[in-house]
Structure 1
Amino acid sequence: MSLSFEKLQGTYLNDLLAQPAALRRTAESLAPEPALEAVAGNLRAGRLHRVVLTGMGGSYHLLTPLHLRLTAAGFDSILVETSELLHAMPALLHPRNVVLALSQSGASAEIVRLIEHEGPLYLGVTNTPGSPLARKAHAVVFTQAGEEGGVACKTSVTALVALDWVARHFEAGLLEKWDPSRAADAYLSRWREHVAALVSQLDGVERAFFTGRGPSMAAAGLGAMLQKEAAHFHGEGMSSAALRHGPFEMLGPGSLAVVYEGTVGRNLNIRLVDDVRATGAKSFLCGPSAEDGPFRLSEANPVLELLPAQMLSLAAAYRAGREPGKFERITKVTDAE
């Protein structure tokens, strides 16, 4: 299909294509953080009790891989939206707990309210030095996403690299930096081809589902959110198992499901693709085993898994005649609870 790619030009596309450079900068900037190692030691010794991971919107979804890794390493980890933490679970803001907050601005309404609470030991991951979160936190890991014009993309992928760095301070082993920039660059070098293919695949599609298991839950949640933010196209993100419990009734012509192959329950995810197609819906496996095209990834990791969802948001915006990523009702930083 021949597309007029000029329709997609703008801040969002520029930010998407700048992701590999942002990933490289972030990986290069990372340095060992003794304060994180000390926190891990105090948790192991029982002087601190649990780790509470918190964020809002996309930040909440991005914390899933860290939550799983901390749990696997033997730490008591809980993942909760910041608003729920404040209003429904304030008992977690205990002096023996560690609260790690992820916020690209470090200044969203809930984060500012959170750090007003004295008691827990705060850790931060943010793109904004000098922000309220950066000033309050006992230790901070900064991303190097640079300026971002609207819908989060550079800040999302760089946050995953920063959170991986945090995880390595808590796990036994060497501190090795993770830099997926080369793989991201290779995928995005074909962005026109990917978008053109997806514009065709969206023919007749009214809604999209994004599903995965384990670390892929980050892409499932944020991938759906991207469609709404960047293209005003309805998407839902959930676990692959959850799709079978209720939402499966919605499937059929007019539906599209992106199922992340991932590293957990791979065979179950592959079978889900076939079962979704049997309803008359379109379904695509996203990962190394996918057919060549926009859903084929060189490896299954949370950063690369976000890229096809970004391409789908461009395609959805193109079909709707919208400028992708242009905010109409919200702003970059949410300042109201």
Structure 2
Amino acid sequence: MNRFLEEVREMPCALRRLADYYAGEGHRNLQRFAEIADGCGEIIFAGMGSSESAPLAILPGLSAAGVKGAHGGSIGIRIADAGEWLHYGTAAAPSALAVLVSQSGESFETRALAERGFVSSYVAITNNEHSSLAARANLTLPLCAGDEASVSNKTYANTLAVLYLLSAVLRRKPIEAALEELRSTADRLHALDECAVEAAAQSMAQTEALAFVGRGPAYAAARQCALTFIEGAKMLCAAFSGGAFRHGPVEALGPRLGLVVLAPSGKTQRLVERLASDAAASQARVVCVSDGLPSAIPGVMALCLPPALNEELFPIAVSGLQNLLLYHLCLARGLEPGVLIHCEKITACE
């Protein structure tokens, strides 16, 4: 079996392993995070690539709920590109807590933030507890994803899962309920029609470029798709929010563009589906990914997931499908899935 596909098949097991860890030995780490976060004035999530995109999945929920510290003061939440912060930012305020995300724990820019004093204290989210990033951290939250050698799959899904748990902590929701939601999501991760996924990939292989569109938490998935599809399928790809796509990129609609819209059940589902309909009417090749029963849209290929438990879980729920779609697209383009040619698994230099 291809190594990438093998890792994708392991995703449900890796997600359950993470849930088991944080239900047991790792539960005290979540309690420690709550204690650290309670005393800060701002939380900054920083990373590169997948590790920068993943926190976008929890940002809408945190922003809507409003995060309060132990004394009732508001805690600001923001996301930073570690490389831009490193060269164009300034040191975080002493009251700020950085959450530095790096699947390897060795990403150059993220590691440099800690080594060069941009953050006085930080929490590390990493798959390598013995990494440089973990060594300096006040607290390390492991991903428990196991070995991964190809384009990001298990580590990305488990990064989303750790962030989902942190969101529950910050919103003072029961951790046990969040862990059970992760287990339920793991059970549904590959409950999909793979023949339909392969057919969608065959259609996308006939295009010259791909655009991925999502709103709210699904925008994180759109960003991840654009990154991994350009890595794996060697195609020009870009991610947009639903609104941003209409502000210019809509002009590229036509048979040479493939458009993948992510339309989870939620308050913007109909808006995203309307975009899919308009794009299909302009002769673009359109795939609509939704949970539950999708709307029947002429000219649009529908890919269905089991219903997500909530919109914030959709990026995890769709992570298996998006990787299978990438796998079949690579095959349709005559490429070995998951193989990197011009970059390394760990980006250790700028």
Give the TM-score taking structure 1 as reference length. 0.89
1:35-81 CA-partner distances (Å, limit 9, x unpaired): 21112321xxxxx2211111101111111123333323333111110
Structure 1 pair 196–173 and aligned structure 2 pair: CA distance change class (3 A): closer
Contact 1:50 1:76 in 2 (8 A): yes
Q: Note the 1:91-240 alignment, pairs <5 A.
A: 91=91, 93-118=92-117, 119-176=119-176, 177-180=179-182, 183-188=185-190, 192-202=194-204, 204-240=206-242
5+ unaligned residues in a row in structure 1: which ranges? 1-8, 43-47
Change (3 A) 1:120 1:178: farther
Q: Which amino acid aligns with 1:278?
A: A
Q: Is the 8 A contact 1:53 1:99 kept in 2?
A: yes
- Report the AA paired with residue 57 of structure 2: P
* Per-residue CA distance 1:179-211 (angstroms, 9 max, x = gap): 545555545365742443224322532221111
Instruction: Identify the residue that residue 260 of structure 2 maps to in structure 1.
Output: 258
1:290 aligns with 2:294: yes
The reply on whether 1:276 has 2:258 as its aligned counterpart is: no
Moved more, 325-334 or 186-195: 186-195
1:181/1:229 CA distance change after superposition, 3 Å = farther
Could you tell me which amino acid in structure 2 is paired with residue 322 of structure 1? L
* Distance (whole Å) between structure 1 residues aligned to residue 244 and residue 171 of structure 2: 30
| CA RMSD, 1 decimal | 2.1
Q: Deviations over 1:275-316 (max 9, x none)?
A: 111111122221123379872011241112223321221122
Contact kept, 8 Å, 1:100 with 1:124, in 2: the verdict is yes
Amino acid at match of 1:193: C
**For residue 336 of structure 2, what is the amino acid of its counterpart?**
E
After superposition, what is the alpha-carbon deviation per residue over 1:97-127, rounded to whole angstroms, capped at 9, x for unaligned?
A: 1110111111111122111133432011111
2:205 and 2:333 in contact (8 A); partners too: no
Unaligned ranges ≥5, structure 2:
68-74, 309-313
1:247 equivalent among 246, 249, 259? 249
1:166–1:183 CA distance, 2 compared to 1 (3 A): closer
Identity over aligned residues, as a percent? 27
Alpha-carbon distance in 2 for matches of 1:185, 1:201: 28
Q: Give the match's secondary structure for 1:52.
A: strand
**What SS does structure 2 have at the residue aligned with 1:148?**
coil
The 10-residue stretch of structure 1 (291-300 or 103-112) with the greater mean CA deviation from structure 2: 291-300
Count residues in correspondence.
Answer: 323
Among residues 16, 24, 46, which one is paired with 1:54 in the alignment? 46
Q: 1:37 aligns with which of 34, 37, 57?
A: 34
Structure 1 stretch displaced more, 189-198 or 255-264: 189-198
Distance 2:167 2:109 in 1: 24
Normalising by structure 2, what TM-score?
0.86
What is the DSSP-based 3-state SS (H/G/I as helix, E as strand, rest coil) of the residue aligned with 1:258? strand
Separation in structure 2 between the aligned mates of residue 199 and residue 261 of structure 1, nearest angstrom: 18
Query: Which sits farther off after the overlay, 279-288 or 217-226?
Result: 279-288
